[in-house]
Amino acid sequence: MTTEANRAGWATAAILAGRLIFAALFIMAATFKFMGMEMTASFIAAAGFPAPHLLAWLAAGLEVLLILGFLTGAYFSETCLVAAVYVVFLGFAFHGPSHWKTNQAEFGFFVDHFTFLAGLLFAAAHGPGEILAIRRGWLKRG
pLDDT tens digits, residue range 30-61?
999 999 999 999 999 999 999 999 999 999 99
Residue 36, helix vs strand vs coil: coil
Q: pTM score, two decimals?
A: 0.87
pLDDT at 142: 41
Report yes or no on 8 lying in a domain: yes
Which domain range does residue 25 map to? 3-126
Report yes or no on 140 lying in a domain: no
For the cut 90, the answer to whether the pLDDT of residue 1 exceeds it is: no
pLDDT at 3: 63
A 10 A CB-CB count for 31 gives 12
Number of structural domains in the chain: 1
Interval 64-91: pLDDT, tens = 999 999 999 999 999 999 999 999 999 9
